[in-house]
């Protein structure tokens, strides 16, 4: 009883061929009618397979993608304007316009952010090369915590800007710290990386882009 579908379909195919043979001896129109489903059968049995492979590919691609990586609408758009005091000096306000003229990297970080600690050695290493200015956007932090964090783990930033209420972060579309933006000399955002920077991302994505921006 369990094997009925397998044997049943085979049986149906056989009997249909029989039908064709039988009609061949008799009425002419029935021969054509019986041939059509037989010719179609050859393709039709492939359709579930094709559908399955297509579905499997779509799902496999979907599984590999990181749903946390939301594409930013700000790529190739002017960076949002901001005016923020530095973390180390509340009296020194830095504006986006002050940073124009040369490509720079803006790294969003916070002392409460665990992944930032993971990415920190990579930034320290990158800062040694002095390729481009590296600025920090200190997101929803306190001045004392941020200062202590930099003193303890080292400061790779040319300057960090103090975004206490996270408003500049929102303007940059920040939703998970750390995030890193590459801004060109005209103040246009060229790239955004979500999550901790890795040596691989720096070497294969950011540095080639910086070279292109320099040229």
Interface positions with other proteins (CB under 8 A): 1-4, 7-8, 10-12, 14-16, 19, 22, 30, 33-34, 37, 67-68, 70-74, 140, 165-167, 170-173, 175-176
The Cα 156–Cα 135 span in angstroms is: 9
Minimum distance from CB of 55 to other proteins (Å)? Answer: 11
With tokens 């920077």, the residue in question is: 197
Q: Which of 142, 174, 169 is nearest to 70 (CA)?
A: 174
Minimum distance from CB of 188 to other proteins (Å)? Answer: 15
Q: What is the DSSP letter of 96?
A: G
Is the CB of 147 or the CB of 173 nearer to other proteins? 173
Is the CB of 133 or the CB of 166 nearer to other proteins? 166
Is the CB of 64 or the CB of 130 nearer to other proteins? 64
Minimum distance from CB of 133 to other proteins (Å)? Answer: 24
Is the CB of 18 or the CB of 89 nearer to other proteins? 18
Minimum distance from CB of 198 to other proteins (Å)? Answer: 22
Is the CB of 53 or the CB of 170 nearer to other proteins? 170
The Cα 138–Cα 143 span in angstroms is: 9
The answer for 192, left when phi > 0, alpha when psi is -120 to 50, beta otherwise, is beta
Minimum distance from CB of 71 to other proteins (Å)? Answer: 6
Q: Are 180 and 104 in contact (CB under 8 A)?
A: no
With a CB cutoff of 8 Å and minimum separation 6, the contacts of 195 are 68, 69, 115, 176, 178, 179
């Amino acid at each position: 009883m369990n094997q009925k579908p397998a044997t049943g379909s085979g049986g149906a195919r056989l009997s249909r061929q029989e039908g064709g043979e039988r009609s061949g001896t008799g009425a002419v129109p029935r021969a054509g009618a019986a041939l059509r489903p037989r010719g179609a059968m050859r393709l039709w049995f492939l359709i579930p397979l094709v559908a399955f492979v297509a579905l499997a590919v779509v799902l496999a691609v979907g599984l590999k993608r990181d749903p946390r990586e939301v594409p930013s609408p700000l790529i190739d758009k002017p960076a949002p304007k901001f005016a923020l005091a530095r973390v180390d000096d509340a009296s020194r306000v830095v504006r986006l316009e002050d940073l124009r003229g040369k490509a720079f990297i803006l790294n969003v970080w916070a002392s409460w952010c665990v992944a930032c600690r993971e990415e920190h050695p990579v930034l320290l290493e990158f800062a040694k090369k002095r390729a481009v200015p590296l600025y920090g956007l200190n997101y929803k932090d306190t001045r004392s915590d941020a200062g202590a964090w930099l003193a303890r783990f080292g400061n790779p930033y040319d300057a960090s800007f103090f975004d206490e209420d996270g408003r500049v972060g929102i303007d940059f579309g920040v939703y998970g710290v750390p995030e890193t933006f590459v801004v060109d000399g005209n103040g246009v955002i060229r790239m955004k990386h979500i999550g901790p920077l890795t040596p691989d991302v720096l070497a294969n994505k950011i540095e080639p882009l910086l070279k292109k921006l320099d040229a």
